[in-house]
Copies of this chain bind each other. A is one copy, B any other.
Amino acid sequence: MLNKIVIATSNAGKLREIQHLLAPLEIEVLPQSDFNIPEADEPYFTFIENALAKARHTSLHSGLPALADDSGICVDALQGAPGVYSARFAGEPKSDARNNQKLLEVLREEKNRQAHYYCAMVLVRSPEDPQPLIAQGIWRGEILRAPRGEGGFGYDPLFLDPASGKTGAELPMEIKNSISHRGLALRDMLQQIAQLHG
């Protein structure tokens, strides 16, 4: 039922991973850079509504089914902040370094370091798709007091995965993809796509 999907991302690594995982289903995965797509608004205060808006926007401007995700880090001691504002926590322009610095500062006196990454992922077959596929993933961990590791992106250098004892920036990409919020959401989504294909 699905032959082609546009991925609403400009992240080359994310695109390659999705292409790899969808190859067995013979679904062609196209980057949004193949199309002339204006930047999407993300006006909502929930991940799910932003992911839905991004997927619809990409489908509208490409004329094809589209997959989008919206992700962020939710810190218990901050009542879930920065959440959907993770990428802009330290203001514009977006900067991982300044965001990490700000997170360290606001948590300086805080003993409760519990946090989780969350990913909402949506696939629409058209902008008016009445039944978008929805997948989610959660990765629980702790916010360190200093960054560790050079890999990953976002808050990964501060995000400790308790099971491995490594931060998201220390884990090899393949390991991270198997346990991360986005990896879990993507695998859930792939199962749903495979069921569509019967």
Contacts and interface: CB of A to CB of B under 8 A. Distances in A.
A119 to B, nearest CB: 12
Interface stretch (A45-53, A100-108, A143-151, A165-173): A45-53
Q: Looking at chain A, what size class is its interface with the partner chain?
A: 20 to 34
Copies of this subunit: 2
B48 A132 contact: yes
* A contacts with B: majority SS: mixed
A42 to B, nearest CB: 13
A196 to B, nearest CB: 11
A91 interface: no
A118 interface: yes
Nearest to A44: B130
Contacts of A8: none
A80 B130 contact: yes
